[in-house]
A = this chain, B = another copy of it.
């Protein structure tokens, strides 16, 4: 019987992963966050909750030794909007994640999926192809994530477990923290309040969060190894996405494009090639950006 451990079950993508794992009824399901309990009551059903600070290597190790999971989907990491990219906490998460992976190996774990980031890629290289595009993370976050990807690969190779690494592009949708771009813009449009933006000509691969979670869970149940992009395979300018929101909710005049500079080092284009995912997993993102953005507007 499989014993699945989901870390980060209260995060943006983690919440969706938890719902999918609950629905799948996949043997024993364990989830861990700082409080040891779900944010929403229905997240309790059929889930063994644990309290631990997984940025502490000793706590991560102890948890694995207690649960002895066969499968881990490791989503937990610092993700505070506006802070995570250069926070020193990335190094603590790196250390503790390595400890977690090594404890998993020692306890006979079979399948580990880690959650990485499009920020590992060199964005100047065109659509990012998992095993082709140069890796050149600029942020502390991107470097720490890529460092863990390599540590995980080394641990898997050494101990003989199966591992995959999911590089997530730009997730959006239900559960997106209110400080992030799309929720902030929706709130501003609804209140008919101006909002200062960059040119927003950056081209991105937006992936609907429940779709991203579905791909993470599909990876967990597969035996595919190595890196996999988590994107839609379709890219748009951020500006066109925001204008689409305004077209539906009104308030286009609130969008003050070009008022802010790009963040230092922010790439103009960061897009996902999804051929490997399609070839190996037969997976395609089901939700178009039109449908996904409409869904964002149906949220409270």
Contacts and interface: CB of A to CB of B under 8 A. Distances in A.
A143 B150 contact: yes
Interface string A129-141: 0000011010010
A150 B153 contact: no
Interface stretch (A19-27, A89-97, A233-241): A89-97
A158 interface: yes
Interface string A30-66: 0000000000000000000000000001000000000
B88 A151 contact: no
Contact of A153 (B88, B143, B151, B154): B143
A119 to B, nearest CB: 12
Interface string A75-114: 0000000000011101100110011001000000000000
Contacts of A151: 91, 94, 143-144, 147
Contact of A157 (B140, B157, B158): B140
Nearest to A98: B95
Given A146-B150, A150-B147, A91 B134 contact: no
A172 interface: no
Count of chain copies: 2
Nearest to A106: B88
B98 A91 contact: yes
Nearest to A137: B150
B147 A88 contact: no
A159 interface: yes
Nearest to A155: B91
A86 B143 contact: no
Contacts of A137: 150
A162 to B, nearest CB: 16
A169 interface: no
A99 B91 CA distance: 9
A220 B88 CA distance: 24
Residue from A94, A135, A147 with most neighbouring chain B CB atoms (10 Å): A147
A148 interface: yes
Contact of A154 (B57, B90, B150, B157): B90
A98 B90 CA distance: 12
Interface string A148-181: 1111011101110000000000000000000000
A241 to B, nearest CB: 30
B144 A150 contact: yes
B148 A147 contact: yes
A158 B99 contact: no
Contacts of A140: 154, 157-158
A36 B146 CA distance: 35
18 contacts: A57-B57, A87-B158, A88-B159, A91-B154, A94-B98, A94-B154, A95-B99, A135-B135, A137-B150, A140-B154, A140-B157, A140-B158, A143-B150, A143-B157, A144-B150, A147-B148, A147-B150, A147-B154
